[in-house]
Structure 1
Amino acid sequence: MPLKSDRPVALITGVGRRAGIGAAIAERLGADGWAVACSSWQAYDARMPWGPDPVRVGDFTVEADLADPATPARLFDEVTAALGPVSALVLAHCESVDSGFLDTTLESFDRHFAVNTRAAWLLMREFGTRHAGGEGRIVALTSDDVVGNVPYGASKGALDRLVVAAAAELGSRGITANSVNPGPTDTGWLDGPLSTAIRTRTPLGRLGTPRDCANLVSFLCGPDGGWVTGQVLTANGGLT
Structure 2
Amino acid sequence: MDGTEQGHRPVALVTGAGRSAGIAASVVLTLAQRGWDIGFTYWTPYDERMPWGADPEAVTRLGDQAGTHGATTAAIEADLSDPQATAAVFEAVERELGPVTALVLAHCESVDSGLLDTSIESFDRHFAVNARASWLLIREYARRFRGAHGTGRVISLTSDATVRNLPYGASKGALDRITLAAAQELAHLGVTANAIDPGPTDTGWMTAEVRDAVLRSTPLGRLGRPQDCANLVAFLCSPDGGWINGQLLHSDGGFA
Quote how far apart the aligned CAs of 1:192 are.
Answer: 1.2
What's 1:25 paired with?
27
What's the CA shift string for 1:203-228, capped at 9, x where partnerless? 00000000000000001111111001
What's 2:177 paired with?
161
What's 2:223 paired with?
207
1:38 to 34, 37, 40: 40
Rounded to whole Å, the distance in 2 between the matches of 1:49 and 1:193 is 16
Rounded to whole Å, the distance in 2 between the matches of 1:116 and 1:194 is 23
What's 1:61 paired with?
75
The SS at the match of 2:161 is coil
What is the TM-score when the length of structure 2 is the normalising length?
A: 0.90
Rounded to whole Å, the distance in 1 between the matches of 2:147 and 2:99 is 10
What's 1:229 paired with?
245
The SS at the match of 1:27 is helix
What's 1:216 paired with?
232
| Alignment of 1:103 onto 2:105 | no
2:18 to 10, 16, 19: 16
Aligned residues: 235
What's 1:48 paired with?
50
Quote how far apart the aligned CAs of 1:191 are.
Answer: 1.3
Q: Give, as a single letter, the amino acid of the residue that structure 2 aligns with 1:132.
A: R
The SS at the match of 2:186 is helix
2:101, 2:147 within 8 Å by CA — same for their partners in 1? Answer: no
What is the TM-score when the length of structure 1 is the normalising length?
A: 0.96
1:86 to 91, 100, 104: 100
Rounded to whole Å, the distance in 1 between the matches of 2:188 and 2:48 is 41
| Alignment of 1:187 onto 2:203 | yes
Rounded to whole Å, the distance in 2 between the matches of 1:104 and 1:175 is 36
What's the CA shift string for 1:127-156, capped at 9, x where partnerless? 111101311000000000011010000000
What's the CA shift string for 1:148-203, capped at 9, x where partnerless? 01000000000000011100010120100000000000000111121111111110
What's 1:148 paired with?
164
Rounded to whole Å, the distance in 2 between the matches of 1:144 and 1:165 is 18
| Alignment of 1:136 onto 2:114 | no
Rounded to whole Å, the distance in 1 between the matches of 2:208 and 2:49 is 22
1:197 to 213, 222, 225: 213
